[in-house]
């Protein structure tokens, strides 16, 4: 890898850490806000909705802005928007306003939309397409390390004594300073990006007689697969605490770290084996099948069984968890390589259409907004939260189909002909 590419990877790596820091904080905020504001599961999951719906609402406007500003300036703008979102948490905390919390989360999601739309093409295009999944896995590893750290830090420092937090004063004392510090860090990153050696991505303009991005089935079908992937990823990371809360597990605000920990393991495996021992396509297919097995494990395990938990980490200092919760955490392992493999399979050979295709794929992150809400709604009926995880089988079916067949399609005629 050239010196320029190494420098670019370092800068993008820092951004992916920020992605993870901001994104996986939601898993700790959900049970916290549910307790503080007396929300039910469906209402609490509006935290994920407000955050992830920004990716759909803002992806195309962001792509047009990136064409004008350039990708490097676009990253700086995204960080500024995130800083504003962080500052909005201060009045939200002072006034104990769920609506303001949701607005702040939407602003954070908007800033991340710009960062993700700009940064993912960098990772795919700064090296051979065959090893793109490895580079994305490295970024994912950084992202999920942040996802492991953040819930633990916030649980021990900010979200401790969850049941005793009942006043606005307590809430303000817990959240105002950390989110103010976060906004300062984001502004410092803006300065770093502006004065960095990060090269600008350049694409030729598409001529009127050339193919539209919508004529590439792998882009559209890839975005559908990503929609279901992000949905099950967020369900695994952000509902584990809620589910544990319903069966009496203590210290639930730190449980997102378990899911992220397994994702870190998955990313390390991806870095070691792709593409040397396994192709990106086969890694995607294997991930979907493994995830389906874990979903079956969730549904058919009992809350008083600790067999899997004791087998995995019974020797360590980590306290055991019911098998149902352990299987939810294990979804992190099956989810780890889905994002890194779908992106290169969907973007391969698009050339001038890459910016618009990237925006379409980013829009699919709305799966993290809609599917957890559906999960929450289903859990309110007689099926219960445990059986609600069956929605994961639908998600992994679409992921499997993209890896097995859909990514190879060159035209919609093949789809019509089966």
375: left (phi over 0), alpha (psi -120 to 50) or beta: alpha
What local confidence, expressed as pLDDT, does residue 166 receive? 54
Structure tokens at 69: 């500003």
pLDDT recorded at residue 298: 93
CA distances from residue 105 to 25, 89, 100, 184, 210 in whole angstroms, order as listed: 11, 8, 8, 17, 39
- Give the pLDDT means over successive 10-residue stretches in the chain (418 positions): 62 80 73 74 83 84 80 86 91 85 92 82 70 75 77 65 55 72 87 77 54 83 95 90 81 77 87 85 94 95 78 65 89 91 84 77 86 87 84 96 89 59
**pLDDT value of position 231:** 94
pLDDT score, position 5: 60
Spell out the domain ranges in the chain: 3-199+215-411
* Residue whose C-alpha is closest to residue 407's, from 234, 273, 285, 276: 285
Residue 173: closest CA among 37, 23, 164: 164
Could you tell me if 391 and 374 are in contact, meaning their C-beta atoms sit under 8 angstroms apart? yes
- Residue from 225, 195, 231 nearest 52 by CA: 231
Query: Tell me, which fold does domain 3-199+215-411 have in CATH?
Result: Growth Hormone; Chain: A; (1.20.1250)
What is the pTM for the complete model shown?
Answer: 0.76
Q: CA-to-CA distance for 152 and 76, rounded, in angstroms?
A: 28
Residue 411 tokens, joined: 């035209």
236, 88, 171, 34 alpha-carbon torsion, rounded to 10°: -30
Estimate the crossing angle of helix 46-69 against helix 354-363, to 10 degrees: 170
The whole-angstrom separation of Cα 222 and Cα 217 is 8
CA distance 389 to 299: 7
Residues in the chain: 418
Euclidean distance between CA atoms 193 and 76, whole angstroms: 6
Query: What pLDDT score was predicted for residue 399?
Result: 97
């Amino acid at each position: 890898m050239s010196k320029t590419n190494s420098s670019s990877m370092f800068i993008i790596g820092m951004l992916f850490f920020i992605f993870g820091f901001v994104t996986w904080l939601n898993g700790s905020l959900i049970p916290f806000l549910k307790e503080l504001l007396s929300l039910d599961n469906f209402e609490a999951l509006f935290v994920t909705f407000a955050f992830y719906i920004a990716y759909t609402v803002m992806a195309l406007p962001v792509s047009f802005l990136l064409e004008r500003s350039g990708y490097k300036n676009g990253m700086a703008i995204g960080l500024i928007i995130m800083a504003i979102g962080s500052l909005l948490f201060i009045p939200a905390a002072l006034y104990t306003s769920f609506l303001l919390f949701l607005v702040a989360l939407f602003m954070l999601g908007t800033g991340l939309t710009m960062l993700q739309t700009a940064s993912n093409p960098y990772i795919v295009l700064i090296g051979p397409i065959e090893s793109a999944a490895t580079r994305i896995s490295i970024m994912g590893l950084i992202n999920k390390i942040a996802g492991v750290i953040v819930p633990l830090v916030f649980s021990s420092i900010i979200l401790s004594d969850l049941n005793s937090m009942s006043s606005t004063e307590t809430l303000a004392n817990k959240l105002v300073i950390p989110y103010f510090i976060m906004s300062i860090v984001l502004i410092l990153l803006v300065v770093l990006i502006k004065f960095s050696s990060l090269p600008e991505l350049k694409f030729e303009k598409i001529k009127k007689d050339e193919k539209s991005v919508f004529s590439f089935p792998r882009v559209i079908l890839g975005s559908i697969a990503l929609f279901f992937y992000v949905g099950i990823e967020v369900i695994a990371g952000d509902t584990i605490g809620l589910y544990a809360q319903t069966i009496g597990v203590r210290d639930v605000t730190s449980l997102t770290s378990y899911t992220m920990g397994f994702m870190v393991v998955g990313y390390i495996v991806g870095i070691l084996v792709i593409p040397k021992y396994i192709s990106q396509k086969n890694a995607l297919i294997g991930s979907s099948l493994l995830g389906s097995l874990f979903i079956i494990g969730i549904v058919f395990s009992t809350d008083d069984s600790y067999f899997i938990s004791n087998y995995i980490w019974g020797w360590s200092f980590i306290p055991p968890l019911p098998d149902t919760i352990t299987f939810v955490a294990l979804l992190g392992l099956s989810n780890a390589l889905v994002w890194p493999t779908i992106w290169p399979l969907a973007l391969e050979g698009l050339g001038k259409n890459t910016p618009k295709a990237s925006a379409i794929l980013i829009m699919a992150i709305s799966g993290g907004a809609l599917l957890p809400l559906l999960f929450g709604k289903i859990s309110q009926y007689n099926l219960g939260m445990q059986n609600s995880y069956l929605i994961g089988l639908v998600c992994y079916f679409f992921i499997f189909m993209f890896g097995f067949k859909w990514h190879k399609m060159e035209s919609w005629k093949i789809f019509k002909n089966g």
